[in-house]
Each structure stands twice: as structure tokens, then as C-alpha cells.
Amino acid sequence: MSLKFRLNLLITLLSLAFILVVGTILVNDTRVSIRERVEAASRVTVQLLDTVIISSALNPEYGETHKVLQGFLQSLGYVRSSHIMLYDIRGNVLYESPESTFKIDVYPPVWFAKLVAPKTEVVERRIRYGTLVVSSSAAGSIREAWSGFSQLMWVGLGFFVLLNVMVYGLLRYSLRPIKPILASISRMEHGDLDTRLPTFKLPEFDRIGHSLNRMAESLAAERQLEENRQLTQLIQSHIEDERRSLARELHDELGQYVTAIKTFAVAIVNKTKEKSPDIANNAQTIVAAANQIYAGMHDIIRKLRPGALDNLGLAETLQDTVNHNQTLHPEIQFNLSLEGDLDNLGETLNINIYRIVQEAINNAIKHAEANVINIKLTVQDNALRLSINDNGVGMNLATVDQTQHFGLLGMRERVQGFHGSFNVVSEPNIGTTLYINIPQVLSA
């Protein structure tokens, strides 16, 4: 059932209800009016006839009462709202008043007559040599009432039809924008986010159109953002693959060469330290340089791809990272707290959490001037919560454009790629805290 049909049906029912209420009031008023009119006419008629009867009784010279009354009634003729019967002493009809000819061509329906007809009142007078019977009659009044009521009914019916036609036309005109709105929603539902609604004349539909257009723009932007995030994840995945490959090549290829150089240099030292001390010293320098190259290479490998992440898991890798930074920066106190199941997070989430922690520690060391860094990672109720706090110089977030801080931006993108939330709370001279929440992290 369409909205237009429902509204038109509602208007129709309300109109019918209004007509029925008005009709009921008119019928009730008509019934009261007819009853009062008939009662008043009957009382007047009875009083008049009582006067004639009394006058005849006080003046015998006028003749017998029933004869006098018969002559008076015949000269009187029709009496409105009253039906008069005069009987002689034997019960024979001496006189019967004629029926009303008022609105004689009007034929009210039976239901209307039953609704408005008052109760018939009968007054009987015993007179000398006869009986007078006066009955109330509302036939003429009913025909008169029906004549006016039927005219009002036809006027009401015409108004009802005209009202419904006007309402139907108005609704049809007013609800025309619904069709393009529904069509646009259907196209959006099927993925067409480029559809736009035109401007409508009615302000309500115009606001709906503007809202749908803004929603389509937001959905298109969100879809573009999601595509960009997926592309970012793909790029990051390829970068991690290249880092893993490069770390493996550094470890396997360059590590072997450095080890070989160191081995040759040590052999030279052992052979020449007595006969050619100068050569032995130079060879020892090569050994020291090889050691430095080997240590630097392992530091690069650690930054490219921590081997512990593939072999021991996220918990051990984070612990190793914290220990390594503690060794490099003994003036800073590192606190690491790990809770929950960290073994089933998956390789992609593991490397992203590691990179976030790695970036946050580097930022705190380089920029925060902190002496305490707290890291807490919890997996509970299938959600991952990570907080990284330092007691450094902090920053005023109201004046900082976070989009220009690529460390924060990179961490935010990593978190949003997993449909998580990333929040930064920082106050000058108090410190900075990163809050990260990622739902649905455990594999089924």
C-alpha cells in the first residue's frame, strides 16, 4: 500500500467521520425540533377545541356539542401537526381531518422518518353524543426536514468528492519527489554512489535530497578511503616482504662475506704477528672493521625484519626490542606489560603492532626527552588494546597538525587498516600516551 494511497484513504476516512458526526448532530437537532413543533401544535389544537367544546356546553342554543364541533372542524379544515377524528355516540365517524399537503411531492426514506419521528401523542375528549380524538402527526414536518436535510446531504457529498479529488491531486503533486528519491536510494544500494538528487520545490523533500546527496558523498569518500587503506595495506605488505627478503640476503650473503673477511684477517694476524707486526696490526684493524660491519649489519637486519618475530612470536620480539633499547639507552626506564593470548594474532597484525611499538619508542627517544616509557599490550575478549606512555615534554595537540607528523600518521593508518581506533593524549611537560584499540583480532 503506497504512501499516497494511505494518505488519501486517511483523508477520506476523516471526511466520512466528519460528515457522519455532522449528520448525526443535524438528525438529532431535527428530531428535537420536530418533537417540539408537533407538541406545541397539538397543545394549541387541543386548547382551541376545548374552547369550542366549553363554549357549546355553555350555550345550548348553539345545538348539540358534536354537531357544533363537527361544523367548526369542517370550517377549520387541515390543522398542522394534528390528525382529528370525531365520532358520534355509536362510534361512527363524523369527521376526519384532511392530510397535510405540505411538501407532498417529497418522499423521505423510512430510516430517516424513524430517526426523527417523535412519539405519537393521543388526546381523547368525551363530549355529549360523541368522542373527539386528537393525534399528533409529524408527517409534514418530516417531509420538510428531509427536504432540507437531503439538500445538505447532496452539498456534503459534493464537497466530499471535491475534497478527495483535490487531496488526491495535491498528494500526487507533492509526493512526486518520492519516486526519484527511492530510485536514487536503490542505485546507492547497488553501489552507484555517483547518483545525485536535484533540487525540489518542497523544502522537506529538498532537505531529504541534500541529506542523501551528502550521504552519497560521504559513502563515496569512505569507499575511496577504504580502497586507499587496502592499497596502503598492500603496499605495506609488499614492503615487509621486501624487508624480509633484504634482511635474509644481508644475513646470508653479506654475513658470509664479512665472516670470511674476518676469518682471513684473523689467519693473517696469527701468521704475521711475530714475523711482520705491521701486517698483523693492519690485519687486526680489518678484524675490528669486520666486527663493526657485522654489528651494524645485524642492527640493520633488526630494523628491517626482526628474526624473532618469525621464530619466537610477538611477545618475545617486543621483549627483545625493549631489552635492546634498554641496552642502548640505559638512562631511560622501559616497562613492558603483556597480557592475554598473543600467539594467534596472525603475521599481518604482528608486524603492524611491532612497527607501531617501534615507531612510538623511536619518537619518545628522539623527541619526548622522556626517562620512563611504559608499554602495555593486552588481548582480551577478542580485542587488542595497546597503550604506550612516556613522561616526556609532551605537546599541545590543539596546535599540532597530526597529518604532518608522519610517525603518528603512519601508526594511525596501520590501526585504521584493522578498523581500530587510534587516540593521542598529550599535555606539555606531562607526557604523551597513545591508546590503540583493535576489535576482532583472534582467528576463529
pLDDT tens string 292-320: 887 787 777 777 767 667 677 888 888 98
Distance (Å, rounded) from C-alpha 400 to C-alpha 397? 5
Q: Is the dihedral of CA 307, 313, 316, 317 positive or negative?
A: positive
**Which pLDDT does position 405 carry in this prediction?**
60
Q: Residue with C-alpha cell 542505485?
A: 187
Residue 207: pLDDT over 90: no
pLDDT of residue 436: 93
Q: What number does CATH give the domain 313-444? A: 3.30.565.10
User: What is the share, in percent, of the chain residues with pLDDT greater than 70?
Assistant: 94
Mean pLDDT for 159-166 is: 86
Higher-pLDDT residue of 186, 403: 186
Residue 321 is placed in which grid cell?
626490542
pLDDT of residue 389: 92
Dihedral-angle region of residue 419 (phi above 0 means left; psi in -120 to 50 means alpha; beta otherwise): left
- Identify the weakest region by mean pLDDT among 240-249, 374-383, 434-443: 240-249
- The closest of 434, 435, 337, 330 to 392, measured between CA atoms, is 434
Which of 103-107, 137-141, 226-230 is the least confident region? 226-230
| Residue 138 predicted with pLDDT over 90 | no
Query: 201 phi and psi, to 5 degrees?
Result: -70, -40
Mean pLDDT of the chain: 83
Residue 1's pLDDT band, with cuts at 50, 70 and 90, is low
Rounded distance between C-alpha atoms, residue 267 and residue 284, angstroms: 10
Categorise residue 191: left if φ over 0, alpha if ψ from -120 to 50, beta otherwise.
left
pLDDT band at 444 (very low <50, low <70, confident <90, very high): very low
C-alpha cell at 174: 507533492
- Could you tell me the CA-to-CA distances from 5 to 159, 254, 397 in Å, in that order? 20, 82, 56
3-state SS of 88-130 is ECCCCEEEECCCCCCCCCCCCCHHHHHHHCCCCCEEEEEECCE
Question: What integer is the mean pLDDT of 415-421?
Answer: 85
**Lowest mean pLDDT, pick from 9-23, 37-51, 307-321, 427-441:** 307-321
H runs (alpha helix) in 106-202: 110-116, 139-174, 178-189
pTM for this prediction? 0.50
Query: What's the pLDDT tens digit per position in 325-337?
Result: 899 899 999 999 9
pLDDT digits (tens, 9 = 90+) for 66-93: 788 888 888 888 887 888 998 988 889 9
